[in-house]
Amino acid sequence: MAEDEGAESYLFKIVIIGDSGVGKSNLLSRYSRNEFNPNSRATIGVEFQTQSLTIDGREVKAQIWDTAGQERFRAVTSAYYRGAVGALLVYDVTRSATFDSVDRWLQELNTHSDSTVARMLIGNKCDLGEIRAVSTEDGKNLAESEGLFFMETSALDSTNVKTAFEMVIKEIYNRVS
């Protein structure tokens, strides 16, 4: 994408996947607008948010896609994944079932995209330590065995949200630049 004065810039599509209710939409709204919605159910009609950052003096735009809730019906389509160069696979540290689903999401990701996609496993809701059901160790081990980056986040109190998104974006940048 050539833009102003011929300066090279980049546009990266990143998808957020994971079971319903793990906090995907709130991670995105926290990162892109610094907003949190305690009872988000309705998904606004926006398919993605674009976030710009500068890496090595170059403009990088991350186009981050959120599902419209269709993961409830296990029907995230191939169009959602098309062209993605990064993926955040989110589970909820308070619900083991969402952690058990990670394998299925990985398979789906592999079906719809190639192995060069930068992947990060995210254990969200780490603010809820007292009702945690998945240990940090278990998350780390799974990520290691599958070759994923790993981070625990909280969209509620902002822990690691920016760090997680930017780690993926920088990894993609390093792979293409």
Count of CB atoms situated within 10 Å of the CB of 146: 14
Contacts (CB under 6 A) with ligand GDP, residues 105-124: 124
Count of CB atoms situated within 10 Å of the CB of 83: 12
φ, ψ at 65 (rounded to 5°) = -95, 135
Task: Give the torsion through C-alpha atoms of 152, 158, 163, 169, to 10 deg.
Answer: 100
95 touches ligand GDP (CB under 6 A): no
Query: What's the rounded Cα separation, in Å, for the pair 124 and 137?
Result: 14
Nearer to Mg ion, 25 or 98 (CB): 25
Distance in Å, CB of 55 to ligand GDP, minimum? 26
Nearer to ligand GDP, 60 or 109 (CB): 109
Binding residue for ligand GDP (CB under 6 A) from 47, 59, 127, 146?
Answer: 127
Count of CB atoms situated within 10 Å of the CB of 74: 11
Q: Which stretch binds ligand GDP (CB under 6 A): 6-14, 23-31, 75-83, 107-115?
A: 23-31
**Helix, strand, coil percent values for the chain (each to nearest 5):** 40, 25, 35
Binding residue for ligand GDP (CB under 6 A) from 11, 53, 128, 133?
Answer: 128
Binding residue for ligand GDP (CB under 6 A) from 2, 4, 5, 39?
Answer: 39
Query: What's the rounded Cα separation, in Å, for the pair 155 and 61?
Result: 21
Comparing every residue's Cβ against ligand GDP, the nearest one is 23
Q: Which residues bind Mg ion (CB under 5 A)?
A: 24-25
Q: Which residues bind ligand GDP (CB under 6 A)?
A: 20-26, 37-40, 124-125, 127-128, 154-156
